[in-house]
Amino acid sequence: MDVHYDEQKFTELVLYVADRLRSDRSGGATKLNKVLFFADFAHVRRHGSPITGAAYQKLAWGPAPRRLVPVRERLVASGDAHVEITEFLGRQLQRVVPDRLADLSVFSAEEIATIDQVLTDLEGMTATQVSDLSHEEPGWRLVDEGETIPYEAALVGAVQVSTPTTRRLQEMAAQRFGLLPS
């Protein structure tokens, strides 16, 4: 997969997602990181390419874009955003708060649809729940902490759980279609 990082799109995605998370009580840095990850990787699954091409690294609490801190610092320095420290369930949150609207003209309609669907899918979930969900992603499981998660991992199927029922059904199907050794 040929991936090109687009810092302008990543910057606008940070602003757009941060604005949408503004009313989310758990919408701090952790949830922002995960929404960005899920948006890029969901777009790979749907359309074969990421939205921003940002590199995401495996961290203990889930995937995080390598360029988020420098982009956030630039947004704050330029006055396009600020960081608020808030509290949710006794935990301190660092919330990126946009001071300007994101320029959505840098995104295609398909990209906006993917971003909006990810936000809808994760709505109402805490940062911990979203982190736990990100740990189920094959890409997060495939690499060591600190390594970059390859976009190709978005196309890897989720690991299936084997239970007595699934093994029995598998054996029945194999017998039915003559796939068992005689």
**pLDDT score of 170 more than 90:** no
Structural domain for 125, as ranges: 7-176
CA 1, distance to chain mean position in Å, is: 18
Residue 93: per-residue pLDDT: 82
Longest pairwise C-alpha distance within the chain? 73
Q: Does residue 69 sit within a domain?
A: yes
Structural domain count of the chain: 1
Q: Is the pTM of this model over 0.85?
A: no
Residue 89 Rama label (left phi>0; alpha psi -120 to 50; beta):
left
Q: Does residue 181 sit within a domain?
A: no
Residue 101 Rama label (left phi>0; alpha psi -120 to 50; beta):
beta
33 touches 142 (CB < 8 A): no
Closest C-alpha to 108, from 51, 154, 32, 37: 51
| pLDDT: which is higher, 175 or 34 | 34
pLDDT tens, position by position, 116-132: 999 999 999 988 899 99
Q: Does residue 182 sit within a domain?
A: no
